[in-house]
Amino acid sequence: MSAAMRVGAVVITMGNRPEELRALLDSVAEQDGDRVEVVVVGNGSPVPDVPEGVRTVELPENLGIPGGRNVGIEAFGPGGQDVDILLFLDDDGLLARHDTAELCRRAFAADPELGIISFRIADPETGETQRRHVPRLRASDPMRSSRVTTFLGGANAVRTKVFAEVGGLPDEFFYAHEETDLAWRALNAGWLIDYRSDMVLFHPTTAPSRHAVYHRMVARNRVWLARRNLPAPLVPVYLGVWLLLTLARRPSRPALAAWFGGFKEGWTTSCGPRRPMRWRTVWRLTRLGRPPVI
């Protein structure tokens, strides 16, 4: 069954890491089993030279991470329907093993309710996995695979039937929390999400705050995430908890000002369509160890 599952890969790039991109594409080409077809999306920039057989799409403007990935999905037909599985990989990452695509085929073939797999991200030099890269609250043991409630955006595999059922990533988010938005919609539709420690993407250790827009986008999109997906009584609880957590982390004055600016923007701008999850899904998230209040 696994051999029959067609696998594609979407990589978005700003064109500024040509050597890393080439190494990633080589690691995809070296995967065991049937060839993985790859689409590289230039997100407002030209695509560097890529190996023969790799398709490219060059966008005239930067659509953000979810917008760029959605373009990559559609390059495989509506909702990615030309393949069964899509890998989403950061352009400065590298698949650590040759059997990752085959492990994905086997996992999805074995469990028809499995919709998304989150890979383990490890530093190529130290092998370290940062806590923030383990998509669960109990993150002290990155080598433990488990069912989870969200996934890592640049190191994952998605069954394309998920996109057909719940839609793609939220374009308007641009950066931050778009994965959780898709995850919550997928879980609400009955799909499962796994974190797999044996599926590894090498990626240099970084801090998300390196992005200039980080604090504003994180706050704005957190509000949008709640407004779009949570039952009304949980919206103020969820956002209140995150407000307290943000203050407890004692960010710098400029960072806190940017965060509050984004928080306000999240309430005063359109968040897109509101489709609150069922209370049954709230309970499901709670049983999986992450109730949607944190």
Region 63-73 average pLDDT:
98
Assign 212 a pLDDT band (cuts: 50, 70, 90).
Answer: low
Short-list 190, 172, 154, CA closest to 72: 154
**Alpha carbons 281 and 267: distance in angstroms, whole number:** 24
Assign 246 a pLDDT band (cuts: 50, 70, 90).
Answer: very high
User: Residue 3's pLDDT is what?
Assistant: 62
**Alpha carbons 105 and 149: distance in angstroms, whole number:** 21
Backbone angles phi, psi at 232, to 5 degrees: -50, -45
Residue 1 has pLDDT above 60, yes or no: no
Could you report the per-residue pLDDT of 110-147, keeping only the tens digit for each?
999 999 999 999 999 999 999 999 999 999 999 999 99
**Alpha carbons 289 and 74: distance in angstroms, whole number:** 33
Residue 141's CB is within 10 A of a number of other CB atoms, namely 10
Partners of residue 55 on adjacent β-strands: 39
**Alpha carbons 22 and 91: distance in angstroms, whole number:** 9
- Helix 214-229 to helix 178-188 angle (10° resolution) is 20
Spell out the domains of the chain, with CATH numbers in brackets: 7-202 (3.90.550.10), 212-288 (no CATH)
* Residue found under tokens 């400029």: 254
